[in-house]
């Protein structure tokens, strides 16, 4: 039975889906086991790397998360969730220029993604690049993105 499962071309997807379910249930260790097994069975299934990276980032294992995201992006350089997670991980590590590069690369793929614009605006603000923050903020605001009131007030003070 185990052998036939390992030969299933969808095994990586099946195991990753199970990992997602465990994560939703708060069963973190089980989710990690399933994501790792998915990667073991299908080293080319980028979603397994991305999901494990996101989980590791959530539990502050950011260096491991970073390596997993980079692996996923070697498999699929245009993996949108992978690029988004990469930016978030870099931001969490304090590697702001790398985070900005990841967000910009993501915007090359999906230029109308308002959430990416919002995150980039917040990051520019965080690193005191206020003119860039305002520019990106205005773009997202024109497209009806709702920012926290405190962020809107901070932006307005910088105009």
Q: What is the reported pLDDT for 95?
A: 98
Is the distance from CB of 102 to CB of 127 less than 8 angstroms?
no
- What is the tens place of the pLDDT at every residue in 18-30? 999 999 999 999 9
Q: Average the pLDDT over 85-102 and give the result.
A: 97
Secondary structure class of 77 (helix, strand, coil): coil
For the domain spanning 1-97, the CATH number is 1.25.40.10
Report whether pLDDT(149) > 90: no
- What is the tens place of the pLDDT at every residue in 103-144? 999 999 999 898 999 999 999 999 999 999 999 999 888 887
Task: Give 4's pLDDT tier (boundaries 50, 70, 90).
Answer: very low
**Cβ neighbours for 129, distance < 8 A, ≥ 6 positions apart:** none
Domain ranges of the chain: 1-97, 112-159
């Amino acid at each position: 039975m185990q052998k036939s499962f390992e030969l299933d071309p969808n095994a990586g997807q099946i195991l990753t889906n199970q990992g997602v379910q465990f994560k939703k249930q708060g069963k973190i260790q089980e989710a990690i086991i399933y994501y790792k097994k998915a990667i073991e069975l299908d080293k080319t299934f980028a979603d397994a790397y991305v999901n494990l990276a996101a989980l590791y980032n959530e539990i502050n294992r950011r260096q491991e998360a970073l390596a997993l995201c980079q692996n996923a992006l070697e498999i699929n350089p245009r993996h949108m969730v992978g690029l988004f997670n990469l930016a978030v991980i870099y931001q969490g590590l304090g590697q702001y220029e790398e985070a900005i590069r990841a967000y910009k690369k993501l915007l090359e793929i999906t230029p109308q993604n308002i959430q990416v614009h919002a995150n980039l605006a917040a990051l520019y603000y965080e690193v005191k690049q206020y003119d860039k923050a305002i520019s990106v903020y205005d773009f997202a605001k024109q497209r009806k993105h709702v920012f926290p009131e405190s962020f809107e007030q901070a932006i307005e003070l910088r105009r």
